[in-house]
Amino acid sequence: MLKIGLIGCGFMGSMHANCYQNINGACVTAVADLRPQKAEELARLSGAQIYSTGKDLIKKADVDAIDICLPTYLHAEHALLAMKKVKYVFIEKPVALTVEEGATLIEAARACDANIQIGQVIRFWDEYVALAEIVKKGTYGRVINANFRRLSPIPTWGWENWLLDATRSGGAGQDLHIHDIDYVLSIFGKPQSFYSVKNTLGNTNDYVNTIMQYPDFVVGVEGTWGLPESYPFTATFRVVFENSVLENAGGKLLCYDQNGVHEIKIEKKTLDGDGYQGGNISDLGGYYNELLYFCNQASVGAPIEKARLSDAVESLDFVLKELSFQKN
Ligand X SMILES: NC(=O)c1ccc[n+]([C@@H]2O[C@H](COP(=O)([O-])OP(=O)(O)OC[C@H]3O[C@@H](n4cnc5c(N)ncnc54)[C@H](O)[C@@H]3O)[C@@H](O)[C@H]2O)c1
Q: Which residues bind ligand X (CB under 6 A)?
A: 7-13, 32-35, 38, 53-54, 69-72, 74, 92-93, 119, 121, 157-159, 162, 175
Which residue lies nearer to ligand X by CB, 69 or 304?
69
Which residue lies nearer to ligand X by CB, 167 or 213?
167
The residues, any chain, with a CB within 8 Å of residue 228's CB and separated by 6 or more, are 153, 154
Q: From the CB of 126, what's the least distance to ligand X, in Å?
A: 15
Q: From the CB of 326, what's the least distance to ligand X, in Å?
A: 26
Total number of residues shown for the chain: 328
- Paired with 201 in beta bridges are none
Which residue lies nearer to ligand X by CB, 69 or 105?
69
The span from the CA of 240 to the CA of 111, in Å, is 44
Q: Which residue is nearest to ligand X (CB)?
A: 10
Which residue lies nearer to ligand X by CB, 55 or 87?
55
Which residue lies nearer to ligand X by CB, 16 or 198?
16
Q: From the CB of 132, what's the least distance to ligand X, in Å?
A: 18
Peptide bond into 94 cis (omega under 30): yes
Q: From the CB of 147, what's the least distance to ligand X, in Å?
A: 20
Burial of 261 (0-12, 13-18, 19+ CB in 10 A): exposed
Which residue lies nearer to ligand X by CB, 158 or 220?
158
Contact 319, 120 (CB under 8 A): no
Closest to 263 (Cα-Cα) out of 127, 159, 148: 127
- Sequence-ordered alpha helix ranges (H) in the chain: 11-21, 36-46, 54-60, 75-85, 99-112, 126-137, 166-169, 171-172, 178-188, 285-300, 309-323
Which residue lies nearer to ligand X by CB, 175 or 222?
175
Contact 208, 218 (CB under 8 A): no
**Identity (one letter) of the amino acid at 248?**
N
Which residue lies nearer to ligand X by CB, 8 or 191?
8
Q: From the CB of 297, what's the least distance to ligand X, in Å?
A: 18
Q: From the CB of 300, what's the least distance to ligand X, in Å?
A: 25
CA atoms within 13 A on the CB side of 84: 10
Q: From the CB of 136, what's the least distance to ligand X, in Å?
A: 24
First-to-last alpha carbon distance for the chain, in angstroms, is 56
Q: From the CB of 39, what's the least distance to ligand X, in Å?
A: 8
Q: From the CB of 153, what's the least distance to ligand X, in Å?
A: 13
Buried-exposed string 163-195: b where 16+ CB fall within 10 A, e elsewhere: bbebebbbbbbbbbbbbbbbbbbbbbeebeebe
Region class of 16: left (phi > 0), else alpha (psi between -120 and 50), else beta: alpha
The residues, any chain, with a CB within 8 Å of residue 161's CB and separated by 6 or more, are none
Which residue lies nearer to ligand X by CB, 67 or 247?
67
